[in-house]
Chains A and B, each alone.
Chain A
Amino acid sequence: MWWRSGHGAAGGGTPVRGPATTLALVVALLMGAALSAGCATDPPEPSPVPARERVDGAGRPITLTVGVFGEFGYQEAGLYDAYMRLRPDVEIRQTSLTRNDVYYPQLLTHLTAGSGLADVQAVEGGNIAEVVDTQAGRLDDLRSAPGVDENAFLPWKWAQATTPDGRTLGLGTDIGPLALCYRKDHFAAAGLPTDREAVGRLWAGDWRKYEEAGRRFAERAPRGVAFTDSASGVFAAAVSGAPVRYYDAHGDLVVATNPYVRAAWDLAAGFARQGLTARLQQFTPDWDQAFARGSFATIACPAWMLGYIQDKAGPAARGRWDVTVSPRPGNWGGSFLVVPSAGRQRAEAARLAAWLTAPEQQARLFARRGAFPSASAAYRLPEVTDARHPYFGDAPTGPLFAAAARGVPPAPVGPKDGLVHQILSDTGMLQVDQTGRSPDSAWRAAMKAIDNALDR
């Protein structure tokens, strides 16, 4: 979903991916395992119904397919099973492709051909604007589907999947509110505070304060430990909180002239130039190994990244990581569910999509898998309010991410948001970080690549 499925193992390069994308499957698994161990409170479930009773009124079973990429976690969190217990006449099957860069072009092909589609399909946040823009005629309006409550969702999330004429084509699944993960042991060694409140105060409200903390850290840093993992990570985090990113409210591409983007770029380039990064590329094997070796002290972490960190850093680093507020709130990643109009069971599909994205189910997915709800109504549910993450020193992740989610400024998204971000990170900032290319020259290279990719 929000994560870049497949990471290094499959080669990354998610051609089309959101601001955050690639994470391995395992990640989600551990993420959920960790969270559910500490905080899951399962909703009461109806008693199981034997499979033979899964038939409709005429005696035929209704089979619904759900097409997802990466590891959406619905199956693992038991949501399909719960739905099939509620609706004994429904049988749910999931098809999954590991990587969104493979999944998304295939989804487009299937949509334009009107065949090969699942009844419910997932769409990554970086692609949602393009889907709404170009596939509106091939998707059902879910605004008034039974069980859908617009007010349960974050308004900006709802708006991202709504056409100008008011059709809502996608229901939000999760979002990626931003926090900052840090290593207590490295902070202590560098003479910085380790308490999560005090650390948060170091940089509260300003990314430049985070940079300052980085310089302080660098003065007394343990050997071989950088302040943060990558300049691209800093860039993604900083730009994720801007009120305008790559497109303006009219849908025009403004990446080249938007001062918010340039500010985030300069900030991130500054990290690279001052040697505050471990010069890594996110979601590559080198990055994974750096977690295990503890090669950096902080990382901007959306909700979904906690499980990844736990997975890669492993049991050896248990008790060393903690999580606190990000300098500025931001959203990095998130997905949607859509119902193709070519489906044969559209009403049933819409009902399922509505149920899967309802606050109760989103809260349960957070408790079990770490996917943070896009339905703000879920933030009041105990699965969120009481959530603590044992791997991160029992940090109150529920309230932390809920506060971050409420602070996210609604920013317009454009059709090529994911692609533009990928080029800025992997073509532009990566060169500043890894090859020492000057920020201006790398910026020009990125702009050229964007123009070519967008056929301008």
Chain B
Amino acid sequence: MSERDKDAISADELDRMSDDELVRLGTRLDDVRLVQYAERWPVPGTKMERRALRHVTGWFVLAGVSALALIGVFVFWPYEYLPPGAPGYQVRTLYTPMVGLTFGLTLLGLAVGAVAYAKKFLPQELAVQQRHSGSSSEADKRTVAAEFRDAGTRSGLQRRTLFRRVAATSAGLFGLGLGVMAIGPLVRDPWKHGDSPDSLWRTGWKPINGETVYLRLDTGDPDEVVLVRPEDLRAGGYVTVFPFRETDREEPERLHAALRRADSAVMLFRFRPGTTVTSRPGREDFHHGDFYAYSKVCTHLGCPASLYEQQTGRLLCPCHQSQFDVFAGAVPIFGPATRPLPELPITVGDDGYFVARGDFAEVVGPGFWELKP
């Protein structure tokens, strides 16, 4: 049926039609034919129907009860920490599961109820819709094209070439501006400030204005500053350290940030006396006695390579099983990592604390395009 057929139906005819007939007409106008459109319950109020309705209602009642229970659990269930074995521990461990259970039951009840209602009470419907042929009619195509041409001529835009160009150029420039705004922020030269501590070439250990960089422990409290002295480590021990500058002491944000910097984590080892240790060329004086400091960032994909075996001197990265030999300059001896862990040059300052003698001599962490092997 096309537009004309609709107009063929007079208002009187429409007035006389029942809702049922109007529905049939509407679907017919959309080229949809209802093959089957049967009531589920032709006789209302049967025992079967009432039972089906009870069934569906049950799901919504369940949802309502669970929702109330969810509120009750959330407000009243005890959740404060108690150690295992303490009276009340079992109840408290059930807090999260109970919240999840009541939350899930509520959602499930609503969803199953809705679907079950549709399955049991909506009419059984089988409809067939005609497919239309693909393109518009020839008349439609020609008339629309003519309308566009007419608009061009009548508005005078076709004639006024200069005006048209100026207007189009302005709009185009605005579009260009939008494009610049969208893409501009993506255009960056990460190598412009190659000497900044924030570039890929440098780390948080890079000395700034000649200020001493100490080795600092992470005690779990980011405001606490604990520096490391040689006697703090027993032979066969190791500890993870981060850079610290005296000017950061009163700056909580910088104290926190120093512990979170991805490239700053360094492992400080104290080898057992008598261990045969070889350094890589050019790094013979990076260590302080039995103390050696290596970057904790795996040179494969940047995981913390921190599984340290103090007798074999092997350092294992848990992500892809790269192994480094810290008794031999932390060179990779197994797994996908190809570059040694960079060594941090350290010494002990006048006040007895470990200090870094400078930044790493090479790039920390996984490789990137610009990194020449």
User: Are A and B part of the same complex?
Assistant: no
